Every structure is written in structure tokens, then in C-alpha cells.
């Protein structure tokens, strides 16, 4: 089977993309869980094919949600909500197109949830056929000094308040050297301006956590980081690369320009109150 045929949309391919994204989230959460005493309150539990995630003291939607819910599992939804709320999570649900059935929506509505948005899952072959903008240098993190530049750009890109930046950096610093993680910092005129991650898992390359300092936005940094990760994913021999973004966001549109295409949408369900 050629590479084009492998990437024809299918339920199996969609689930493999979801599993890769979940593996990356698990890897991030386990870094936090290893902090003595688990102060963030990291927890996760499987419910059938679905997984509920919680981070009691970290209000990140990535860490406080339910993923992998499938047709035939409506009877598990109330248990997932109760488990999540007991651990300080709102119980946000993300349901991939192809896994949805009306019973899931009816049960979520009955329990006080509504369908509030969509996120996009994108995919492409790992070909080095996309040209990056010029004037941008990109380094793969290999030293402690480079990691500090990564952290500075990452904190700026995610608009982390100054009062929280030291603790945030301490939580992120262990990412350097994690197996399967390649970290990048992009520079303009030598200044760290943007960051990104390539996560390698089970033959798939996952593009994660791209963030640009607001002072440098609109200068092609996201596109340059996509190009570099495509090159490195190809060199790593992955079968395909994938990523996620809010539907029709700037990130989504940049990925389409880089040759990635929409594989499926996830419906986001959130509590009414």
C-alpha cells in the first residue's frame, strides 16, 4: 500500500491520530505527576475506550477533559462526569467525528452539557516539500542554555503571568531529554521568538505546543517551525505527521498552507454552568 492510500480517511486512521495526541498529553502529565507529592493533582482513568484526565490545580483544557468516547458508551458518561468533578475538572468532552452517535449527544445534553465548538485534526505525509520563510533560524534544543531560551519564548508565547513564570518554567524544564521529544526554538536576529515540539510515537510524528511571543507574531515563525519539524519527522522515518488546532484558527490555516489537510473534527462539549 502506498503512502497516499494509507492516509485515506478511515476510522482506524482517525483513532491512531487520537491515540498519538493522547500519548503526548499523557507524557506531559506524567512529568507533572512525578513532582514530589503530586501537587498539581494529576489523575487519569479509563472508562471503556474513553479516558478521563484531570489536573486539579492546573486549569488547562488539555489536562481536564474526556477523550475517546465512542458509540455505545453513553451509559458511562455520568460516571465520567462524577469522576472528573471529584478531581476538580469540569468534565469537558471531545468526541471525534466517526465516533459520535445521537445517544452520546442526548445523554450529554440531559446532564447539562452543550456542544460549544470544534477542533481540527490534521495530517500529511512526511515530505520535505514545504519552504520555510527566510530570516528565521531554528535550533533543536540540546543544551541547558538553549532550554532557558526555549522557556523564555514559551512563557511569552502562552502569556504566562510574570508571577507564575518561575514555577511554570520549573514544571516545563524536565521536557528536555524526554524520550521521543524534540524541542525547538526559533530566533529572529538572535532573539528567542517561538517554540515548538515534535513528539515521536509508534511511527507517527505529532506537532505540538507551538507558541510565538506576541512581539514577533506575523513574521512566519509558525510556518518555519512546521517546515523544520517536517524535515526531522521525515528523517526519523515516521509514516505520517499529525497535529491539532482550533478549527479555522491561524494555526489551522498555517498547517493547511504547509500541506497538512483536515482528517476529522472533534466536537467540544462543555457544561452549561
Q: Tens digits of per-residue pLDDT, 230-262?
A: 999 999 999 999 999 999 999 999 999 999 999
Is there a domain that residue 257 lies in? no
Mean pLDDT of the chain: 94
Where is the domain boundary, 122, 154, 176? 122
Same domain, 110 and 151: no
Where is the domain boundary, 122, 146, 169? 122
155-161 average pLDDT score = 94
Is there a domain that residue 258 lies in? no
Is there a domain that residue 244 lies in? no
pLDDT exceeds cutoff 70 at 164: yes
Same domain, 93 and 164: no
Same domain, 111 and 148: no
Is there a domain that residue 148 lies in? yes
78-96 average pLDDT score = 94
pLDDT at 1: 41
184-200 average pLDDT score = 96
In tens, the pLDDT along 5-42 reads: 568 999 999 999 999 999 999 999 999 999 999 999 99
Is there a domain that residue 207 lies in? yes
Same domain, 151 and 110: no
Is there a domain that residue 76 lies in? yes
Q: Predicted confidence band at 4 (pLDDT cuts at 50, 70, 90)?
A: very low
CATH classification at residue 163: 3.40.630.30
146-167 average pLDDT score = 95
Same domain, 141 and 111: no
Same domain, 185 and 229: yes
Is there a domain that residue 79 lies in? yes
Same domain, 101 and 146: no
Model-level pTM greater than 0.75?
A: yes
Q: Predicted confidence band at 161 (pLDDT cuts at 50, 70, 90)?
A: very high
pLDDT exceeds cutoff 60 at 119: yes
Same domain, 62 and 36: yes
The whole domain housing 54 covers 3-122
pLDDT at 3: 46
- SS3 per residue for the chain: CCHHHHCCCCHHHHHHHHHHHHHHHHHHHHHHHCCCCCCCCEEEEEECCEEEEEECCCCCHHHCEEECCCCCCHHHHHHHHHHHHHCCCCCEEEEECCCCCHHHHHHHHHCCEEEEEEEEEEEECCCCCCCCCCCCEEEECCCHHHHHHHHHHHHHHCCCCHHHHHHHHHHHHHHCCCCCEEEEEEEECCEEEEEEEEEEECCEEEEEEEEECHHHCCCCHHHHHHHHHHHHHHHHCCCEEEEEEECCCHHHHHHHHCCCEEEEEEEEEEECC
Same domain, 73 and 116: yes
Same domain, 91 and 13: yes
Domains: count for the chain: 2
pLDDT at 108: 98
Same domain, 108 and 143: no
Same domain, 109 and 142: no
Is there a domain that residue 247 lies in? no
Amino acid at each position: 500500500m502506498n503512502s497516499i492510500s494509507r492516509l485515506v480517511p478511515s476510522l482506524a486512521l482517525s483513532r491512531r491520530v487520537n491515540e498519538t495526541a493522547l500519548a503526548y498529553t499523557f507524557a506531559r502529565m506524567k512529568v507533572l505527576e512525578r513532582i514530589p507529592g503530586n501537587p498539581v493533582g494529576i489523575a487519569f482513568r479509563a472508562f471503556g475506550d474513553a479516558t478521563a484526565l484531570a489536573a486539579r490545580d492546573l486549569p488547562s483544557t488539555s489536562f481536564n477533559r474526556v477523550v475517546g468516547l465512542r458509540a455505545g458508551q453513553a451509559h458511562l458518561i455520568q460516571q465520567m462526569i462524577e469522576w472528573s468533578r471529584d478531581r476538580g475538572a469540569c468534565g469537558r468532552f471531545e468526541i471525534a467525528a466517526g465516533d459520535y452517535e445521537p445517544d452520546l449527544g442526548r445523554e450529554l445534553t440531559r446532564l447539562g452539557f452543550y456542544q460549544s465548538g470544534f477542533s481540527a485534526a490534521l495530517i500529511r505525509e512526511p515530505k520535505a516539500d514545504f519552504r520555510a520563510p527566510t530570516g528565521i533560524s531554528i535550533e533543536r534544543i540540546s543544551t541547558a542554555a538553549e532550554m532557558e531560551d526555549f522557556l523564555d519564548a514559551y512563557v511569552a508565547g502562552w502569556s504566562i503571568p510574570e508571577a507564575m513564570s518561575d514555577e511554570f518554567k520549573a514544571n516545563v524544564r524536565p521536557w528536555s531529554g524526554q524520550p521521543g521529544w524534540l524541542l525547538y526554538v526559533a530566533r529572529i536576529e538572535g532573539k528567542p521568538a517561538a517554540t515548538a515540539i515534535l513528539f515521536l510515537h509508534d511511527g507517527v510524528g505529532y506537532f505540538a505546543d507551538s507558541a510565538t511571543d506576541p512581539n514577533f507574531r506575523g513574521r512566519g515563525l509558525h510556518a518555519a517551525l512546521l517546515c523544520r519539524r517536517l524535515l526531522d519527522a521525515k528523517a526519523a522515518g515516521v509514516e505520517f505527521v499529525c497535529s491539532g488546532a482550533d478549527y479555522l484558527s491561524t494555526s489551522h490555516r498555517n498547517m493547511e498552507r504547509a500541506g497538512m489537510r483536515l482528517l476529522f473534527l472533534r466536537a467540544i462539549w462543555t457544561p452549561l454552568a
